[in-house]
Amino acid sequence: MTALLAELRELLGAGGVLARPEELFVYEADGLTHHSARPSAVTLPRDAADVQRIVRACRKHGVPFVPRGAGTGLSGGAVACHGGVVIECARMNRILRVDPENRIAVVQPGVVNADLSKAVAKHALFYAPDPSSQQSCTLGGNVAENSGGPHTLKFGTTTNHVVALELVLADGEVVRLGNSAGLASGLDLVGAVVGSEGTLGIVTEITVRLVPLPERVETLLGIFPDVVSACRAVGAIIKSGLVPSALEIVDQRTIRAVEASVYAAGMPTDAGAILIVELDGPSAAVAVQVERASAHCRDAGAREVAVARDAAERQRFWRARKGAFGAMGRLAPDLYVHDAVVPRAKLPEILERVCAIGDAHRLRLSNVFHAGDGNLHPNISFDRRDADELARVLKAGEEILRVCVEAGGVISGEHGIGLEKREYMPLVFSEADLAAQIALRDAFDPEHACNPGKIFPTTRFCAESNPKARGYERVAFE
């Protein structure tokens, strides 16, 4: 490492390399704090050429490297679990080009998600995927995790919005994938990289689609006696053919934590659950949709349906929803934000089982989630210094995943597998499925120098690997 550090300082200048223990401390974990490992160094490149030099130097010295954005990930993806050098892209934060006519923007990976929408608003455009962490997470991290958000119900996740990428491969070669017109032919390699959790290379430039700002937006708050009736309203709204831009449920524990915090928005703390319904589009159509969505909420048991009076009130509601994880900091020092998906129709049943698991393990579990997508976020408030409580949290986490998979769901909706769920991959993929995915990874990085130790199981569940797991449908050829 001494020789590598000297070389990196030569390449990037002293300010481009962090190696003191107190500097490295903050890079030990991401938002999932119970997985941590200290990297040997952190580098702060300014452009693709810097990234290429760092990668080449690391390879020369046989040291692994880990791409990192803002470190808001919730699956341990940016943790240097095998040691090595973190390549933090925060300084690569320039919006390189906005093309309103073709509705695209070209950005460096360190651009913060919310900053892009702010920058293109003057063209009446926005960038649709909006993780609740959008005030801090980077587009590079979003690409790696194929991030979603409240508004991906209507607009799709990151993969639906990325048309081209520049990538520094694990051997230092720089490649361009896709094309800015979204017209690339051949295998969809952009699609392979989006969601690959930083294991196929370092993304150094991203071309994204922009979406026109809608003519009218209305935000409804359905006030329900419990989560189950709010889930029924979600089913009824989708069944009716309405496509809201967002359908989000916040349960009572979360409402109370939020209302006691700086994110308070005046939500009733005696409500069992609140369903946020956002509708957007042409003005006349939205007016009709508001009536229909309100009726579905009332039919499912809402005691009241409030409509945001103006943009300021709408923003307050969203600040409250997106600040929910932060508000949980009032309940305990640590928060495990779980992430799994179930078929939407099974939400009421699964939520009851999830809550029962929390109770059985004597845990403080709350729910705030992307209900329209069936994407659950059971949140467990705990103190990781209490070993017994941490063990119960992990056990409950595993049981929740198994319940979701049994219901026909998957083990992550948007936070990725990372370190957190790698041992659970055999719940949904057979050995052959996993081998196919590893073969894809090998094609990009045969020595697994880039972000090693992520996504793929080590050993624990190998014996459990399920040959009938629903990873891929197999077709027998004659």
Ligand X SMILES: Cc1cc2nc3c(=O)[nH]c(=O)nc-3n(C[C@H](O)[C@H](O)[C@H](O)COP(=O)(O)OP(=O)(O)OC[C@H]3O[C@@H](n4cnc5c(N)ncnc54)[C@H](O)[C@@H]3O)c2cc1C
Which is nearer to ligand X, 31 or 374 (by Cβ)? 31
CA distances from 294 to 184, 236, 317, 368 (A): 43, 11, 17, 21
Q: How far apart are CA 179 and CA 181, in angstroms?
A: 6
Whose tokens are 């080590």? That residue is 458
Q: How far apart are CA 216 and CA 279, in angstroms?
A: 8
Nearest-approach distance from CB 409 to ligand X, in angstroms: 16
CB 213 within 8 A of CB 283: no
Nearest-approach distance from CB 246 to ligand X, in angstroms: 11
Nearest-approach distance from CB 127 to ligand X, in angstroms: 13
**Distant-in-sequence, close-in-space partners of 439: CB < 8 Å, separation ≥ 6:** none
Which is nearer to ligand X, 89 or 250 (by Cβ)? 89
Nearest-approach distance from CB 301 to ligand X, in angstroms: 27
Which is nearer to ligand X, 89 or 106 (by Cβ)? 89
Q: How far apart are CA 429 and CA 435, in angstroms?
A: 10
Sites of contact with ligand X (CB under 6 A): 30-31, 66-74, 77-78, 89, 109, 131-133, 137-138, 140-142, 144-145, 147-149, 197-198, 202-203, 325, 414-415, 451
Cite the DSSP H helix spans in 35-94.
48-60
Mutual angle of helices 387-406 and 347-360, in 10-degree steps: 160
Nearest-approach distance from CB 323 to ligand X, in angstroms: 8
**Distant-in-sequence, close-in-space partners of 165: CB < 8 Å, separation ≥ 6:** 143, 176, 177, 178, 190, 193, 194, 203, 205, 206, 207
Nearest-approach distance from CB 362 to ligand X, in angstroms: 25
Which is nearer to ligand X, 296 or 453 (by Cβ)? 453
Buried b (16+ CB within 10 A) or exposed e, 219-229: bbbbbbebbbb
Which is nearer to ligand X, 7 or 248 (by Cβ)? 248
Which is nearer to ligand X, 10 or 188 (by Cβ)? 188
Which is nearer to ligand X, 72 or 366 (by Cβ)? 72
Nearest-approach distance from CB 235 to ligand X, in angstroms: 22
Cite the DSSP H helix spans in 323-466.
324-327, 347-360, 387-406, 431-444
